[in-house]
Amino acid sequence: MIITLASFKGGVGKTTTAIHLCQYFATRKPKLKVVLADGDPNRTAIDWEESSQFDLPFAVVDASEDLPKYDVLVVDTPARTEPDELADLIETSTLVIIPTKVDIFDVRATLALGDALRPYPHKCRILLTGLPRGKRLYESAKQLFDEQGLKSFDGGIQQLAVYRDAAYEGVPVGRYNEAGKKAMADYEKIGAQILKGWKNG
Ligand SMILES: Nc1ncnc2c1ncn2[C@@H]1O[C@H](COP(=O)(O)OP(=O)(O)OP(=O)(O)O)[C@@H](O)[C@H]1O
Ligand SMILES: [Mg+2]
């Protein structure tokens, strides 16, 4: 399975999502062989891995180099995906995940690309990120996507300081502290939906 992170705005949580989905797939039972391919010239994921003082249960490699064997390949991409690159990403991926902050301007930026996404309902999923406490914004954003025929995951990723703190240590949040373990539950829920969809073809 190849999962690609793409977005039409930068700084929405692509790399963070790539890291935490890899952590989930590599540690759940049965464990999967997981590779994170960094396709961002900024090398954010590679730098993160190199700065890590922990042994990670997945490999992080440069997407332009030969890839090791994998069950799940997670591909991180540069800050902004050009609309005309999107079709290629969809073609080469099992699933394209589009993290989108729950703020209305971010939601509209993804909605604007609806025509490019709508033809591939089984291959594109929006992941709502930057969720505040409470469900109101999440539900408003999800409803807008539903109305436009765009699929989003059930649940999203809360905005929590532990992601920034853990990134400094080069460690997935679930291994950072107790707050991080709770935060990781958001990604576990998303990962489980991905695996369910994969199994059901
Ligand atoms: N759920 C979250 N809560 C709080 N901070 C977060 C969360 N997810 C990511 N961040 C922080 O937000 C910043 C941007 O996240 P990230 O680098 O994952 O986004 P990106 O989409 O990959 O950015 P770019 O477009 O530059 O590649 C980072 O500092 C990261 O630690
Ligand atoms: Mg990134």
pLDDT tens digits, residue range 38-72?
999 999 999 999 999 889 999 999 999 999 999 99
Q: Residues 95-99: what's their mean pLDDT?
A: 97
157 close to ligand 1 (CB < 6 Angstrom): yes
**Tokens for 125?**
């999923």
CA distances from 167 to 58, 60, 62, 132 (A): 16, 15, 19, 20
Which ligand is closest in space to the CA of residue 164?
A: 1
Query: What pLDDT does residue 59 have?
Result: 97
Q: Which tens digit of pLDDT belongs to each residue from 115-161?
A: 889 989 899 999 999 999 999 999 999 999 999 999 999 999 999 99
Ligand 1 pocket test target in 15, 42, 129, 138 with most atoms within 8 Å of CB: 15
- Specify the residue for token string 């409803």: 143
Query: What pLDDT does residue 83 have?
Result: 80
Q: Which residues neighbour 161 within 8 Å (Cβ) at sequence distance 6 or greater? A: none
**Tokens for 198?**
């994969």
Distance (Å) from CA 162 to ligand 2 centroid: 17
Domain of 20? 2-199
Q: For the chain, what is the domain count? A: 1
13 close to ligand 1 (CB < 6 Angstrom): yes
* CATH number of 127's domain: 3.40.50.300
Tell me how far apart the alpha carbons of residues 72 and 33 are, in angstroms, rounded to a whole number. Answer: 6
Q: Residues 158-169: what's their mean pLDDT?
A: 97
Query: What pLDDT does residue 198 have?
Result: 85
Q: Tell how strand 34-38 and strand 2-5 pair up.
A: unpaired
Distance (Å) from CA 12 to ligand 1 centroid: 6
- Specify the residue for token string 């703190």: 165
Query: What pLDDT does residue 185 have?
Result: 98
Tell me how far apart the alpha carbons of residues 74 and 190 are, in angstroms, rounded to a whole number. Answer: 14
